[in-house]
A and B are shown apart, each in its own frame.
Chain A
């Protein structure tokens, strides 16, 4: 199982390294505007083929690239009801702080749980390989955090139940 995660993340990392070749490209339609082309999706010559990397039916990652921007959307594993609400709560928490994350998109793409939008300006400010490291670490951290939250809920539940029942002995 652990091997599976490594393979999935390595695949994503390699794809990102290949896809993240961004350069500044002023908007073709409107003068003096500079927009991320992947969001507009108007001119086919500026968009590259999107790549979908699936680990299983529940987890997948969609990478869409254009000449000046790249959009990465992820769907996180949610096994049961509790993981479902924990993931939703955590990802909404992150999305609301998208301003401080800079590369995070405020709303995830339809059908996915969380999305990143990286533009050429980000690539100019930050080292490309460090940015890719950040994205991959982010994915690992989300999984780790959700399983830790679930564990803390179960541990607390056990403790609460034990304390209550001990009162009767």
Chain B
């Protein structure tokens, strides 16, 4: 699985299971944590078997991020637009969570395909809620309009206490990520990965992809951004998104990819380290085998003799 998937498998599994076993009486109360501090809590009680209560906790926003009532701006409208009558927002959200939804399985469309599509959408709640501000900005781009924030960097949350910056303009949107990693090895690996992004963009096959740049110091688009956001130990990545990338069906996919870019790079850095460990272990085994070959035959024979020979003697004795 190279790319991060938008619908959460945990939620999808629970929703499908609930649909299949609607009459069986099993209470569900499950909590889970996803990457970047997103928590889900899903509850079904047998008193209302057709109603699921889903609570979502979002990553802590830093000071410069724009938020409204604990949720990113545009999130509530996005939820109403995506789910219609199936989902109802409960206010106030459950303790410790930022959003609580009541999902009414009885209101799902009867058509199998539409039902699965809505369930997939519900499982992608993260993309709908966290991606709402980004979706609004990119939708403006696809309609070639621009809101009041033209030319100014807008800070959006993607990780706990960290934000990325979006600079909307009439004909393009520039997205800048300050990349921060905790481990020093991660920083070096991530830097080499990010430079590959710039290299890959230069190949002819990807000339239609958004323009991609990497620099160690903050790029000029961020000159109005607050100081605290401008330290990044693995450099700054800039993508330039054109209207071509956000037309029609591509909008959702673009929103998800841009939202989870840092998580994507971090995931592959960790995979790379795991792969290196496997390789190193294999190499250690090879070297130890080489060392065993160096042992003299007398030593090896001494080790082998103590084992089976006892059994052989005892069998001969009996015979």
Contact = CB atoms under 8 A, between A and B. Distances in A.
Task: Answer whether A and B are interacting partners.
Answer: yes
Interface of A: 81-82, 84-86, 89-90, 93-94, 97, 100-103, 125-127, 130-131, 133-134, 137-138, 141, 145, 148-149, 152-154, 156-169
B185 interface: yes
A8 to B, nearest CB: 20
26 contacts: A84-B188, A85-B184, A85-B188, A89-B276, A93-B280, A94-B280, A100-B288, A101-B287, A126-B291, A126-B299, A134-B287, A134-B291, A137-B290, A138-B287, A141-B283, A152-B276, A153-B189, A153-B276, A160-B2, A160-B264, A163-B3, A165-B201, A165-B212, A168-B208, A168-B241, A169-B209
In the complex, which of the residues B209, B287, B294, B296 has the most CB atoms of chain A within 10 Å of its own CB atom?
B294
Interface residues of B, number: 49
B19 interface: no
Given A138-B287, A165-B197, A168-B245, A160 B294 contact: no
Given A165-B197, A165-B212, A97 B284 contact: yes
Interface string B280-298: 1001101110110111100
B196 A126 contact: no
A168 B294 contact: no
A72 to B, nearest CB: 14
Contacts of A134: 287, 290-291, 293-294
Given A138-B290, A141-B287, A160-B268, 20 more contacts: A84-B188, A89-B185, A89-B276, A89-B280, A101-B287, A126-B291, A126-B299, A130-B293, A134-B291, A145-B279, A145-B283, A149-B279, A153-B189, A153-B193, A154-B192, A163-B3, A164-B3, A164-B261, A168-B254, A169-B206
Interface string B302-313: 000000000000
A133 B291 CA distance: 9
